[in-house]
Structure formats: C-alpha cells, structure tokens
Structure 1
Amino acid sequence: MAEWLFEAGIGEQRAALIDDDGHIIRARIAVDGGGPQPGLIASARLIERDLARLDTGEDITLVRPPAGITLGAAIRVEITRAAIPEPGRPKPPRGRITDAPARPAHTLRESLIDAPVRELRTHEPDALEAAGWSEVLEEALTGDIAFPGGMLRFWPTPAMALFDVDGDPPLDALAVRAATAVAAAIERHNIGGSIGIDFPTLAGRDARQAVAAALDSRLPQPFERTAVNGFGFMQIVRARAYPSTAELLRSDPVGAAARAALRQIERTPASAPNCFRVPPKVRARILAHPDWMAAIVQRTGRTPIFDA
C-alpha cells in the first residue's frame, strides 16, 4: 500500500508518497515563510481593481475583479494559488473575494489525506533517502530526468514548463516510454499550469495516438491536453495551486542547500565529529537564521561547527 513519509525539518516540511516498491510517486516541500498558502482566508483591503493587500502586508492578485466594491474597502480573501517564483518578477499569490469566515491554510502535514502517513524521526533509518529523495531533488535542480533508453530535459519557464525528449531509436517506442516518464515527472514534481512536451517527430497517426494513450494511462486526472501534432509537440494544462519542486529549489538554491545541510547535520550520530564542511554561501545562510541554529542545537544537543 502507498504511504506518505513526512518529515518536519528545519526551515521546511517535506513529504514523499511512496509506492509499494519504495519509489517516490510525489515529492512535496513546504518552505517556512513561503507566504500565503492556498486555503487561507484572511482580512484584506482592495488597493486596486484586481489587487488586494492582506492585513499582514502581502499583495494578492484577484481572480475576478470585484464589482461594486470601492478601493480601500475591507474584504476577506481566499488564497487559491501560492506565489510562483520566477526570474526577475515572481508571480504574487492569487485569490478571490469571499464571505467565508477567516481560517488558516492547511499545513503540508494536514494536507496528506489520501494515504497513511508515517512521520519520520532522525534516530531511525533514513526512509526518505532510501526512496530516492536526493535523486528527486537533483532532478528538480538540474532538469535531467533519466528513463529507460532516454533522457528528459525539463525547464520551468514563465510561459510554460517544457520537456524535451532525447533517446535511442526506434522513435515510436522511445516516445511512448517518454510519455510515461513525463507523466510520472509531472506528478512527482507537482508541475501544474501549461506544460509543453517536445517528442520526436512521429510518422503516422497511430504512433501519435499511442503516445497520448501512454500519457493518459499514467497522469492522474484532472487535466486537459492536445493531441501530439505532426512535429511531435503536445500541450497539457493542469490546475496549479503551488510552485513545482523545480521552481522552489531553483529560485533559491542556496536556501535549498542550507536546509539540506541541516537535514544531514540533524541525522549525524552524536558520536560522529561535530565539524561540517559546507560552501561559504550555505554557511552564511544558516548563520543568518538564528531560529535554524536554535532548532539544530535543540534537536542534536550541540552547536555545529562549520568548516567552509
């Protein structure tokens, strides 16, 4: 039976849905201080026709500009999409006006309701790592995703997430394997919005339909897609409430590396040396967060020494 592995880390919560073979189906990360999250209902004021400002200071793009509400009016807003990090100009959170009472957003742990949850402890064997956690993070950071006989290259762009397929002939079989791999990657990395896939150019309608059928059989609904066109391109549209793991990690690779280093430190046995080699930028990021340092001292009983 599939189960969620959940870890309340320092600076982030992390979870992975594991299948019966111990492989990661979905990887999810919730970074502390990530801003308003979907499901939050909070007080705000309308500051522009399509923009509200929460009482806590964050600006929210409104899905439907309100009618009959004057600028400056007090309103309540429900967050429907978290902020999406993008180079140069991040997309702010999105929301809608509501009459519902205020409520907090669910935490990552509270959202894991579709399978049993196993909460991990640092003194136990590292079940996340055994399932391939580091490999999933490497996929997100590099965009290189291997599959039998081929490789996907993935780029999150402001317009859409893009997959390019490379691999060994015959191309019809390669494209079918790639479709299955793309579907798995979309689910694993929580990729939503508009998604483009550049398959090899396929000769014949039957070959293109086989690729579409392979993707349909692996990618959970709901989503919409086009057919594979004569140039091998397919577009998929999925609901998007959160940034993908790639967007989270690539938008702040130093922060991601710092939180990963703290995870490693937390799991280091007390009998092991207390000196850790980390890059200077990672060291500086950790030391810039007194709450992270306090947490690692509380959890391990000692103050780590960093050797840059």
Structure 2
Amino acid sequence: MARQAPPEWLIEQGIAETRALLMGGEQVLAARIYWPGELRAGEHRRARLISKLAGTRRGVALLDDGTEALVDHLPPGVTEGQTIAVVITRAALAERGRLKRAQARVASTDAPVAAPPLPEGRVVQRFPAGSWDEVWHAASSASLDFPGGEILLSVTPAMTVIDIDGVGSPRDVALAAVPGIARALRWFDLGGNIGIDFPTLAAKADRRAVDEALEAALAGWPHERTAMNGFGFVQLVARALGPSLLHRFATARLGAATRMALRRAELAAAGGTGRTLLLTVHPALKAKIKQPWLAELSRRTGRALEVAVDPALAIEAAHAQLLQA
C-alpha cells in the first residue's frame, strides 16, 4: 500500500496578496493569507518610545514605518524618546470603528530581521481546482456546514463567537459540529479569544463527551480551553499573529473581493486564446482596483485588459472572460 505524503503548504503568489493552503492529499487542512505592506509577527523593527505606561514595563512606540505599536518588556532604564529595537508579536487588527495597534516586545538584537509572510512551502502557479474557492467562500459567508447543521461565526471586538445550529438532539448536534469547528479554526487562521456556543447540555456526561471530542479534534492546534459550562459555552484562547480571514471580510470585504476578482481574471486567461481579458465587477470593486494591480495582471496574462461594471453583480461575484476581438 502506498504511503500518503505528509501535509504540505502550497503558496500562491497572487496580485496584492499571497495565499497559502496546507494540503493533506486533496483535503485543505489550513489556510493563511498575507497582504503586502502589513507588519508580520516575527519582524524586527526600529522604533522610538513615545510614552511609557506608569507602573508597568509597557509603552507605545512609533515604528519606522510611521505606525504605532504597544511594546512589552521595556528595560527599566529606557526613557521616552529613546530609539529601541523591537520584534512584532502580533500585527495590527482593524475592527469596526477602530484599529488595534500592533503588539511588540523589545528585541534582543538590533539587527534587522525580516519575517516570512507565510509558512515555508512549495510555490505553485495555482492551487488544486476549487480548493481556495471553498475556503474563500466559507470565510466570506462566515459559515461552514456539517452533517445536520451549520456553524456560524461572528467577529466582535472582544472575541470571535462560533454559534451552532442543527437538527437533532442537543448532544448529537454538538458532537456532529466538533469536526467542523476544528476545520473552521484552521481554515480561517483564527486566534485570540474564541467562544463556542454549543446547544445547552443538561447532563454532565454529555458535556464531558463534547469536551473529549473537542480535545481530540484540536490536538496539535496550540490553545488553552475551558470545560463546557452548564449553558453549553466553551472558551478557547490561542495566539493571534495577525488578522484572520474572518477579520479580512469583517473589516475589508471590498479589498478581499477585489483581490479575488484579480485571481479569477488571472485564472481565466490561463490556456485561453483571446486577445483581450474582460473583467466584470461590481462598481464598488472597480474603485478599489489600483492601476499597478491592473498592470501586473496584464503583464502576467499577456493580454490587454478591459474592466466593466455591473451593478447587478454581488460584490463577491466578479467574473472574467477572454474576448477574441
């Protein structure tokens, strides 16, 4: 019997974004995304301390790119105005109405260190057919189906909340949802505080069964977890390195949809014979497409470009085709 190859990260270097899928055979195990210009966890920067928080070893520093970061582990003798070396521990997070500063700590070296945007993997021209689309649409809708039900996810300033809706006994629905929850955590690159609202289970044995199933499903995914309480609620805490795919759609849906439109256009041009590539988008997306992105799309495809608008299209429903004339 042939041995199955170990899971492998595949990297797709798109226009205005880099995407990664962890593939186990034909199955997507995890996904990550990076937009150029963003800070990355592990990146070393020079910064000027602009304020210290009294009674703590924390402060606010102005990074060399003009953005601010909360800095931890400040040496006792450092003063406001002093230049320090820091390493980013979490990228900035956009939320409704505000921006959470990036987080950093004082670095042990002054030498600049660039952090890789995504895990090490094999660069491919395109992912296996349908794999990225499946993850992308699930993140766009903030939902995943499981046998007999659906997982619904909501991003809030305090935490990401996972709600479960299904048909059957509360115990059966809760247990059936566990594999889908594990998939959502990895597909959407979730971190920080995560709350799972299971159906209320009155019996301790039922709650224990769900806890054990969740423990097995999340093996290998670094986190801390509470036991299910009497109302069916479980809290997870995992390290957040940057915006999740859900955060992208919650705070930058147009940006995410624009990048997907460019990807569809690039794929539409592959293997075709038309001279002109027509990309049709919602009017709001056309306003978001930057000229350098169109120039890169033309360079990659070797085609002249036309961008048309259709107000009847959903923001996520851009499409592309090759024209012969």
Alignment TM-score > 0.5, same fold: yes
Offset, 1:103: 2.6
Counterpart contact for 2:40–2:117, Cα < 8 Å: no
Does 2:49 align with 1:46?
A: yes
| Matched residue type, 1:216 | E
Aligned to 2:104: 95
2:64 aligned residue (55, 69, 75): 55
SS in 2 for 1:274: strand
**CA distance in structure 2 between the partners assigned to 1:108 and 1:151 by the alignment:** 32
Q: 2:279 aligns with which of 231, 251, 276?
A: 276
Q: 1:30 aligns with which of 5, 27, 34?
A: 34
Q: Which amino acid aligns with 1:153?
A: L
Once the two structures are TM-superposed, the CA of residue 235 in structure 1 deviates from its matched residue by 0.6
CA distance in 2, matches of 1:102, 1:183: 38
Q: 3-state DSSP class of the match of 1:229?
A: coil
Residue 238 of structure 1 aligns to which amino acid in structure 2?
A
Q: Which residue of structure 1 aligns with residue 186 of structure 2?
A: 187
Distance 1:182 1:60 in 2: 32
* 8 A Cα contact 1:16 1:128, kept in partner: no
Matched to 1:258, the amino acid is T
Higher helix proportion (structure 1 or 2): 1
Tell me the distance in 2 between the aligned counterparts of 1:134 and 1:306.
22
Counterpart of 1:82 in structure 2: which amino acid?
Answer: A
1:158–1:64: structure 2 CA closer, same or farther, 3 Å change rule? Answer: farther
Write the distance in 2 (CA, Å) between the matches of 1:249 and 1:29: 12
Q: Give the alignment partner of residue 20 of structure 2, picking from 9, 15, 19.
A: 15
Q: Cα offset for 1:66? A: 4.5
2:319 paired residue number: none
In 1, distance between residues paired with 2:248 and 2:114? 19
Deviates more, 1:62-71 or 1:83-92: 62-71
Q: Deviations over 1:52-90 (max 9, x none)?
A: 011221211113454221110111111000111111111
Q: 1:93 to 1:279 in 2, by over 3 A?
A: same
AA in 2 matched with 1:101 = D
Identity %: 37
| Equivalent runs, 1:137-156 vs 2, <5 Å | 137-156=136-155
Structure 2 unaligned regions, length at least 5: 53-58, 310-325
Q: Which amino acid aligns with 1:105?
A: A
CA distance in 2, matches of 1:303, 1:52: 46
Shift of 1:180: 2.3
Partner of residue 214, structure 1: 213
- Report the 3-state secondary structure (helix = DSSP H, G, I; strand = E; otherwise coil) of the residue aligned with 2:93: coil
The question of whether the paired residues in 1 share the 8 Å contact of 2:155 and 2:161 is answered with: yes
Residue in structure 1 matched with residue 171 of structure 2 by the alignment: 172
TM-score computed with the length of structure 1 as normaliser: 0.91
Match of 2:304 in 1: 303
| 1:138 Cα deviation from its structure 2 partner | 1.8
Amino acid at match of 2:204: R
The one-letter code of the counterpart of 2:302 is: G
Cα pair 2:12 2:127 within 8 Å, conserved: no
Shift of residue 303, structure 1, vs aligned partner:
2.9
The two structures have a TM-score, normalised by structure 2, of: 0.86
The corresponding residue for 2:318 is none
Higher fraction of strand: 2
Amino acid at match of 1:291: P
- Alignment of 1:83 onto 2:92: yes
Return the offset for 1:32.
1.4
Q: Distance in 1 between matches of 2:116 and 2:108?
A: 22
Matched to 1:168, the amino acid is V
